[in-house]
Amino acid sequence: MLQRRAAADLGSLTLADFAPRINEIFTLLRAGGISSWSWPRARDLGSPGSGARRAFSLAFLGPLAPVQPQQMVTLAHPELTLEGIFIVPLGPAGGRMRYEAVFT
């Protein structure tokens, strides 16, 4: 059974917080159950966001079905829980569904 850690403060996270976790597994927690998502990429968007940090995006790969609509979700990892991140489905790639979350 997955033990949830305290949620990270999304407003204080930076790209550097995610760099060591590339290719690790995150678990999507949802009402219908859980599914494993890999996290293959983090990208600097090259411009400052609305606050002091630079904007960045995270790309995730989840199962092809069921496709998650764009929505707020919780993704859990043994060291980090991302509660209330907004994901957008980008389409299939290599037998998986691609999703993106942007942090500004």
Q: Element (H or E) spanning 57, and its range?
A: strand 54-62
Joined together, the tokens standing for residue 51 give: 């606050």
Give residue-wise pLDDT tens across range 2-44.
Answer: 344 567 788 888 888 888 888 888 898 876 678 889 887 888 8
Strands 33-48 and 54-62: antiparallel
| Peptide bond connecting 92 to the previous residue in cis, omega within 30 degrees of 0 | no
- At 1 the pLDDT is 35
Give residue-wise pLDDT tens across range 34-86.
Answer: 888 988 788 888 776 556 778 899 999 999 998 999 999 998 888 888 888 99
Residues ≥6 apart with Cβ < 8 Å to 11: 51
